[in-house]
Amino acid sequence: MKLLVRADDVGYTDVCNIGAFETIENGVVTSADVMMDTPGAEDALRRLKAFPWISLGWHTHMWGSPVLDPQDVPSLVMKDAGRARFRKDLRSAQDVIFEEALAECHAQIERCVKILGRAPDVTGGVRVTEAAFGRALKQVCDEYGIAYNTTIYPGPSDGTPWTAPVDPRWASRKIHHLGPRHPLNATQALLSDSLAAQEDYDPASFFLDDPSHMLDLDDDKVMMTALHPGYVDYYVYRLGDYGPQARNFILARPLDVEALCSDRLKDWIRRNRVELINYRDALYGTREYQNHLRATGSDLCMI
């Protein structure tokens, strides 16, 4: 079975990055989804230059502030505690000006290219029915060759862009991911209002107990799972995510760091002969991540 392990929200802050990069350097993360608009974005992109075997995703939560001067993109922002940040309804708002959205999306990718030397490999879902910002995001992805709608979601779709149907050009790659609201998703407990469920959150159990039966997947299928490793500072705790379960994910971040670096997870990978791959491997049939493991003499190498 092939497993793609994605770290989400990379670039949140410099402090949060410390935990995320612990899982890249000493754990089993194979792909990093970077938010280009948050305070730690440039730190994350500089760090990633040392890890060419890690694929790069464009994480488009838009929890931060525009790369451009907010005065140049006024339809994209709101005032929050005296600072300009992206509006909460950015993806759905009908009064977002397309040209402003397009300019900001270009600026975010150019930030990546300037620091890392290349554009991201992939982003999440894009729906053709989206409002101006989603259309701008799609256009920029097409211009830079950033893959999107690459994943098959076997779980329920709530209509959000990240659960958009797989694009036919990627369907044959058979990349499976349990949607964010699938009952067997690793982070499902974090969407609960139950304090007991949140306290019992154990991300390693998603692999060790295998409730999704990923080990039963055919050899030509890929299971992609996403966790949120990182350490927490004031920005992450108070100023970033404004979703209804934001506090729950704050609790999860250091637990995800521990799980993704743990011996119990690595033992599970070795015992079950799980082949770790990055997103480029999944999309294009390369073996970059396994070649890295082999070159470093890692016993997690399966080729």
pLDDT for the residue numbered 158: 56
So what's the pLDDT on residue 196? 73
**CATH class of the domain comprising 2-59+121-127+145-295:** alpha beta
Q: How confident is the model at residue 157, as a pLDDT?
A: 57
Q: What is the pLDDT along the chain (303 residues), one digit of tens a residue?
A: 999 999 999 999 999 999 999 999 999 999 999 999 999 999 999 999 999 999 999 999 999 999 999 999 999 999 887 889 999 999 999 999 999 999 999 999 999 999 999 999 999 988 766 899 999 999 999 999 999 999 998 765 555 666 788 999 999 999 998 765 666 677 777 777 777 777 788 999 999 999 889 999 999 999 999 999 999 999 999 999 877 778 778 889 999 999 999 999 999 999 999 999 999 999 999 999 999 999 999 999 999
**Per-residue pLDDT, 182:** 66
DSSP-assigned states of every residue in the chain: -EEEEEEEEETS-HHHHHHHHHHHHSS---EEEE-TTSTTHHHHHHHHTT-TTSEEEE-----S--SS-GGG-GGGEEEETTEEEE-TTTTT-TTS-HHHHHHHHHHHHHHHHHHHSS--SEE----TT--HHHHHHHHHHHHHT-B-S--B--S---S-GGGPPPPHHHHTT-EE---TT-TTSTTGGGG-S-HHHHHT--TTHHHHT-TT-GGGS-TT-EEEEEE------HIIIIIS--STTHHHHHHHHHHHHHHHH-HHHHHHHHHTT-EE--HHHHHH---HHHHHHHHTT-TT---
What is residue 184's predicted lDDT score, i.e. its pLDDT? 66
What is the pLDDT at residue 198? 73
Phi-psi region of 62 (alpha: psi -120 to 50; beta: other; left: phi over 0): left
